[in-house]
């Protein structure tokens, strides 16, 4: 299963087989320090997700699933009734961490299914723990393979010598490994295409400047950093051939919910006739919700008032901190998934893809 066709150089989240713990790189410390966090406690993993030590839609889904499996082993000395009460409580704690990324709910629903099947089949606690571990590892492996496959589809859309603009971090650090938007770049690069990347810094917490730049430099892919407000001018100057971003949720109508600032990039791309691609595994596609059901996360305004640990304005000034925005389907050229490239009309074609 793990015979990957490309090098896997960065793991964001993984399973420690010997300790049965979920481990992740603390992305808050990057690019200056590579700290690793391992835990068996759903509360600790939930905190890591809320505080964005682990972030990116697929990565938080994988981390939450592994956290449930890890906790199952930790409490496998309890009797059945106590065990199931505790494990369902753990799922709830993880469920209530971040509201927008679909992958979190998608992964936890899979874990819930295992729990409910196990209750019905009257499996003993040890058997349930093994089943939860198997499912969580499957979710993690599927994420890596989805990224590789969507990378292969997406690379066909990347011309040789292209300059790609990306936003936030949709790389290995936002997934189990490999990345979505950056997965496309990786495959194009491994296939010998001489691409260049323009990365937006991505205020307020600078995932572009801290994480995307770090990943691309590690890979050897040429990257140039810009501030978020340079996007329009850089596109107008003709410096961008295509845009590739990730997604936190794609609704059944084809609305793309992604890091705040994505919508402005899509508008600018449309105006400048630049293709705007979204790379996401099908675990990000939410056919059950329409755009009006989606909750856009609002985070602590201090993230806006500060850069890293320093206030850059008056500490008491009101600030808005929407974490995500909504890009309309008509601004999206295509959605790149592991099952193929989806073109408009998205409402019809997403349904077909997942049927």
Q: Which residues are identified as catalytic?
A: 248
Q: Which of residues 178-197 bind ligand MRU (CB under 6 A)?
A: 180
What residues numbered 25-64 form the site for ligand MRU, per CB under 6 A?
55-58
Residue 310 CB contacts under 8 Å (≥ 6 apart), including other chains:
none
* Binding of ligand MRU by 207 (CB under 6 A): yes
Given candidates 12, 162, 247, 250, which one binds ligand MRU under the rule CB under 6 A? 247
Residue by residue, DSSP assigns 322-347 as B-EEEE-GGG-SEEEETTEEE-S-HH
Q: Measured over all CA atoms, what is the biggest interatomic distance in the chain, rounded to whole angstroms?
A: 66
Q: Which among 40, 43, 2 is positioned nearest to 23, based on CA atoms?
A: 40
Task: CB nearer to ligand MRU: give 63 or 174.
Answer: 174
Cβ closest to ligand MRU, residue 147 vs residue 274: 147
338 interacts with ligand MRU by CB under 6 A: no
Question: Judged by CB under 6 A, does residue 174 bind ligand MRU?
Answer: yes
- Find all residues with CB under 8 Å of 141, minimum gap 6, and list them: 1, 2, 176
Distance CA 292, CA 271 (A): 26
**Residue 295 DSSP class:** P
Q: Report whether 166 contacts 244 (CB < 8 A).
A: yes
Q: Is 128 in the site for ligand MRU (CB under 6 A)?
A: no
Q: How far is the CB of 181 from ligand MRU (least distance, A)?
A: 7
C-alpha dihedral (123, 126, 131, 132), degrees to nearest 10: 110
Stretch that binds ligand MRU, among 149-157, 242-250, 285-293, 328-336 (CB under 6 A): 242-250
**With contact defined as beta carbons under 8 Å apart, do 90 and 284 qualify?**
no
Question: Which of 170, 176, 294, 336 is the binder for ligand MRU (CB under 6 A)?
Answer: 170
Output phi, psi for 346, to 5 deg.
Answer: -70, -35
Question: With respect to ligand MRU, which residue has the nearer C-beta, 39 or 258?
Answer: 258
Sign of the dihedral through C-alpha 198, 202, 205, 207: negative
Residue ranges in 57-116 that form contacts with ligand MRU under rule CB under 6 A: 57-58, 101
Query: CA nearest 351: which of 251, 227, 237, 218?
Result: 251
CB closer to ligand MRU, 20 vs 28: 28
- Residue (25 or 57) nearer to ligand MRU, CB: 57
- 323 part of the interface to ligand MRU, by CB under 6 A: yes
Confirm or reject binding of residue 215 to ligand MRU (CB under 6 A): no
Applying CB under 6 A, the site for ligand MRU has a residue count of 17
- By CB under 6 A, tell whether 336 contacts ligand MRU: no
Query: Which residues in this chain contact ligand MRU in the complex, by CB under 6 A?
Result: 55-58, 101, 168, 170, 174-175, 180, 207, 246-248, 258-259, 323
């Amino acid at each position: 299963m793990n015979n990957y066709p490309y090098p896997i150089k960065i793991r964001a989240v993984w399973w420690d087989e010997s300790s049965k713990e979920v481990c992740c790189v603390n992305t808050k410390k990057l690019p200056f320090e590579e700290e690793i966090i391992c835990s068996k406690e759903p509360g600790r993993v939930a905190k890591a997700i809320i505080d964005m030590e682990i972030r990116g839609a697929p990565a938080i889904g994988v981390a939450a699933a592994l956290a449930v499996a890890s906790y199952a082993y930790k409490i496998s000395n309890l009797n059945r009734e106590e065990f199931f009460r505790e494990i369902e409580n753990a799922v709830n704690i993880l469920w209530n961490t971040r509201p927008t990324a679909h992958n979190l709910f998608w992964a936890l629903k899979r874990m819930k299914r295992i729990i409910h099947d196990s209750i019905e089949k009257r499996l003993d606690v040890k058997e349930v723990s093994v089943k939860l571990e198997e499912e969580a590892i499957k979710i993690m492996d599927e994420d890596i393979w989805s990224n590789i496959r969507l990378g292969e589809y997406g690379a066909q859309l990347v011309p040789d010598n292209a300059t790609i603009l990306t936003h936030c971090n949709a790389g290995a650090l936002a997934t189990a490994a490999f990345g979505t938007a950056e997965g496309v770049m990786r495959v194009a690069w491994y296939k010998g295409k001489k691409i260049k990347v323009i990365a937006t810094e991505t205020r307020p917490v600078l995932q572009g400047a801290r994480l995307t730049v770090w990943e691309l430099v590690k890979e050897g892919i040429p990257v140039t950093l810009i501030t978020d407000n340079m996007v329009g001018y850089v596109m107008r100057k003709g410096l961008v051939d295509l845009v590739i971003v990730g997604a936190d949720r794609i609704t059944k109508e084809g609305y793309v919910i992604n890091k705040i600032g994505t919508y402005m990039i899509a508008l600018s791309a449309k105006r400048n006739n630049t293709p705007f691609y979204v790379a996401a595994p099908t675990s990000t596609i939410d056919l059950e919700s329409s755009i009006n059901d989606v909750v856009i996360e609002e985070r602590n305004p201090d993230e806006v008032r500060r850069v890293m640990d320093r206030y850059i304005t008056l500490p008491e000034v009101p600030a808005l901190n929407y974490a995500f925005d909504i890009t309309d389907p008509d601004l999206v050229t295509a959605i790149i998934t592991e099952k193929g490239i989806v073109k408009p009309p998205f409402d019809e074609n997403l349904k077909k893809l997942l049927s």
